[in-house]
């Protein structure tokens, strides 16, 4: 009954959209405070202000972690529970922002790129603005193509009704567009961003490494991109600009960039938090989203700080007493707010930097790509650097021991497991399952607790119903 009520609510919410489209002529008002783009985009400060507004703020995209085979069933909102149980016809609509958010960024980058052409700024300034806009546009299309497959390609400002409802473009052409954007951004961006949180040349290189690795897997299967992924990852590693933090616990819980941070966004979760009696997440939900499975916890090596510090089942309360709780992820939680009786109106519960890209990922990309190109011999140095840092006692090699003597297939499995142990709850789970076509691990972990068996539809998400209605584009085939 709850599900039916919500479905009816969604239908009713769609009605005003339809009515507004059909009645626009007689409801149209003369705008009183409209500022035309040509009037706004005048100074460098205007462009910088517009660029700052493009940065990703929708942390709901981290809901991709619900798909992880290492997460147990969430005690959370019904939509998230449906996603965990693989109910593709309903719960996946929780991801509406995954379509609207990137396209909003794309719309505004297109405007910036159009307006900058006529401005009499220095070549250095114009290159920086163009590079930043194209980098963020590439990032947005990379998000869209992974989530939805074929998507409409909008590369210019919408100037007529004919530009609104356009066909979907093939994934191959979307990836080509992404590479054109990010390669140009890499050339134009400065080595250092104007301020913390914005992209620079090395952020672009790191994004390229991730895109090359992704496109080497399903569905593009461009195996030649493994070598390119390694090349870009090593350019970041060898730049001297970043270094691994000495211990894993120093990577998180900071409001500033660390030596390991390549790109991060500050995220605050006002008016909500994840109670310790359920679990915690970096998203700021009032209900539990992520619960580690016993199998995941047991899979860590002895003396692995990523488990000892990163996954906990107790905390010290305000009275100094130890409290036993549900097992929770500790990467982002602020211990000051762990009391279960705290009201949901408490603010600034989760105010740390949300890591978008960090150096450890580049090491793991280099390890995976080198193994695919040349086998494991040259890949151990990259994965073992991450494993050594994970040791509780870094002087004891029996803690998270170095890997050696593996076949190429064994190393492939090892590096994917290492990604889980190093990057859990950072938004990689579904992407890795898709590109490696290992959704069977989710089926094995959840079994008959899934409403629907894992299938090909898990490779893409439902296109939001509002987009299908407004833009006359077809739903992804597996959901029709």
pLDDT in tens, 126-151: 999 999 999 999 999 999 999 999 99
Same domain, 144 and 98: yes
pLDDT at residue number 318: 60
**Spatial contact of 112 and 136, defined as CB atoms under 8 Å apart:** no
424 and 289, same domain (yes or no) = no
61 assigned to some structural domain: yes
Which CATH number does the domain housing residue 257 bear?
1.25.40.390
In tens, the pLDDT along 75-101 reads 554 455 566 666 655 555 556 788 989
Instruction: State whether 110 and 224 are in the same domain.
Output: yes
Give the contacts of 227 (CB within 8 A, at least 6 positions apart). 369, 373
Helix/strand/coil for 287: coil
Tally of CB atoms within 10 A around 265: 14
The full DSSP string for 320-347 is: S-EEEEEEEE-SS--GGG--TT--TT--
CA-nearest of 451, 398, 393, 468 to 151 is 468
Tokens of 396: 């004891």
Asked if the structure places residue 18 within a domain, the reply is no
Residues 392, 313 share a domain: no
Q: From 322, 355, 388, give the residue that closes a domain.
A: 355
**Distance separating alpha carbons of residues 121 and 98, to the nearest angstrom:** 34
Report the number of secondary-structure helices (H) and strands (E) in the chain: 18, 8
In this structure, of 248-252, 311-315, 354-358, the range with the lowest mean pLDDT score is 311-315
**CB contact burial 347-368 (16+ within 10 A = b; e otherwise):** eebbbbbbbbbbbbbbbbbbbb
Q: Of 355, 387, 406, which residue sits at a domain end?
A: 355
Q: Which of 36, 47, 17 is nearest to 470 (CA)?
A: 17
Looking at every residue in the chain, the average pLDDT score rounds to 82
Would you say how long the chain is, in residues? 480
Are 79 and 206 members of one domain? yes
Q: Is the pLDDT of residue 28 over 50?
A: no
Domain assignment present for residue 9? The answer is no
pLDDT higher than threshold 80 for residue 334: no
Instruction: Kindly state whether residues 310 and 432 are assigned to the same domain.
Output: no
Q: What percent of the chain has pLDDT over 90?
A: 55
Query: Number of C-alpha atoms within 13 angstroms, CB side, residue 58?
Result: 19
Confidence tier at 265 by pLDDT (50, 70, 90): confident
Q: How many domains does the chain have?
A: 2
Q: 95-126: per-residue pLDDT in tens? A: 678 898 999 999 999 999 999 999 999 999 99
Is position 156 within any domain?
yes
Q: Is residue 13 part of a domain?
A: no
Q: Is residue 6 part of a domain?
A: no
Evaluate if residue 26 carries a pLDDT over 50: no
Segment 284-290 shows an average pLDDT of 50
Same domain, yes or no: 63 and 157: yes
Burial of 273: CB neighbours in 10 Å, binned 0-12, 13-18, 19+: buried
- Out of 325, 355, 385, a domain closes at 355
- Pairwise CA distance, residues 299 & 168, whole Å: 42
pLDDT score of 259 more than 80: yes
pTM summary value: 0.85
User: What range does the domain containing 223 cover?
Assistant: 40-263+356-479
The predicted-structure confidence for 417-454, as pLDDT tens digits, reads as follows 999 999 999 999 999 999 999 999 988 888 888 777 88
- Token pair in block for residue 360: 């450890």
Domain membership of residue 268 (yes or no) is: yes
Structure tokens at 443: 């089926």
In a shared domain, residues 268 and 364: no
Residue 456: pLDDT band (50, 70, 90) is confident
Q: Are residues 198 and 226 in the same domain?
A: yes
pLDDT of residue 455: 84
Question: For residue 269, is pLDDT > 70?
Answer: no
Give the residue-averaged pLDDT of 27-47. Answer: 71
Cα(173)–Cα(430) distance, integer angstroms: 23
Structure tokens belonging to residue 384: 């073992």
Share of the chain above pLDDT 70, in %: 74
Please check whether residues 331 and 365 belong to one and the same domain.
no
pLDDT, residue 478, reads 79
Q: Contact 23/66 with Cβ under 8 angstroms?
A: no
Distance CA 465, CA 10 (A): 9
Residue 202 and residue 64 share a domain = yes
H helices of 23-74, where?
A: 24-27, 37-40, 44-52
Helix (H, G, I), strand (E, B) or coil at 358: strand
Pair 315, 232 in one domain: no
């Amino acid at each position: 009954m709850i599900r039916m009520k919500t479905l009816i609510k969604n239908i009713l919410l769609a009605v005003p959209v339809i009515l507004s489209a059909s009645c626009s002529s007689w409801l149209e008002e003369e705008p009183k405070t409209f500022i035309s783009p040509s009037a706004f985009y005048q100074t460098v400060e205007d462009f910088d202000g517009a660029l700052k507004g493009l940065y990703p703020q929708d942390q709901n995209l981290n809901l991709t972690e619900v798909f992880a085979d290492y997460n147990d069933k969430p005690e959370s909102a019904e939509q998230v529970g449906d996603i965990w149980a693989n109910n593709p016809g309903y719960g996946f609509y929780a991801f509406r922002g995954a379509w609207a958010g990137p396209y909003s960024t794309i719309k505004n980058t297109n405007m910036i790129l159009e307006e900058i052409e006529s401005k009499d700024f220095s070549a250095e300034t114009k290159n920086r603005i163009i590079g930043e806009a194209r980098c963020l546009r590439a990032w947005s299309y990379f998000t869209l193509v992974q989530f939805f497959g074929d998507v409409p390609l909008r590369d210019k400002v919408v100037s007529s009704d004919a530009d609104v409802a356009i066909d979907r473009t093939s994934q191959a052409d979307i990836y080509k567009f992404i590479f054109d954007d990010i390669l140009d951004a890499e050339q134009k961006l400065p080595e250092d961003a104007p301020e913390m949180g914005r992209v620079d040349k090395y952020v672009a290189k790191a994004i390229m490494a991730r895109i090359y690795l992704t496109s080497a897997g399903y569905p593009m299967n461009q195996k030649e991109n493994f070598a390119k992924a390694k090349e870009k990852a090593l350019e970041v590693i060898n730049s001297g600009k970043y270094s691994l933090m000495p211990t894993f616990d120093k990577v998180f819980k900071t409001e500033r960039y660390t030596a390991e941070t390549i790109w991060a966004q500050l995220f605050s979760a006002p008016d909500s938090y994840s109670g310790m009696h359920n679990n915690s997440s970096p998203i700021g939900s009032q209900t539990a989203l992520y619960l580690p499975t016993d199998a995941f916890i047991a899979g860590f090596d002895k003396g692995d700080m990523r488990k000892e510090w990163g996954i906990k089942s107790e905390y010290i309360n305000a009275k100094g007493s130890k409290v036993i709780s549900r097992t929770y992820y500790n990467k982002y939680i602020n211990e000051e707010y762990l009391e279960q009786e705290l009201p949901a109106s408490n603010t600034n519960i989760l105010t740390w930097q949300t890591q978008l890209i960090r150096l450890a990922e580049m090491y793991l990309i280099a390890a995976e790509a080198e193994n695919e190109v040349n086998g494991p011999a040259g890949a151990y140095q990259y994965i073992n650097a991450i494993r050594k840092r994970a040791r509780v006692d870094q002087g004891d090699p029996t803690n998270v021991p170095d890997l050696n003597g593996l076949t190429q297939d064994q190393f492939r499995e090892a590096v994917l497991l290492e990604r889980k142990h190093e990057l859990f709850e950072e938004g990689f789970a579904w992407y890795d399952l898709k590109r490696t076509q290992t959704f069977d691990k989710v089926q094995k972990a959840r079994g008959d607790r899934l409403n629907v068996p894992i299938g090909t539809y898990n490779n893409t998400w439902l296109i939001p119903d509002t987009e299908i209605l407004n833009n006359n584009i077809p739903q992804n085939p597996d959901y029709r």
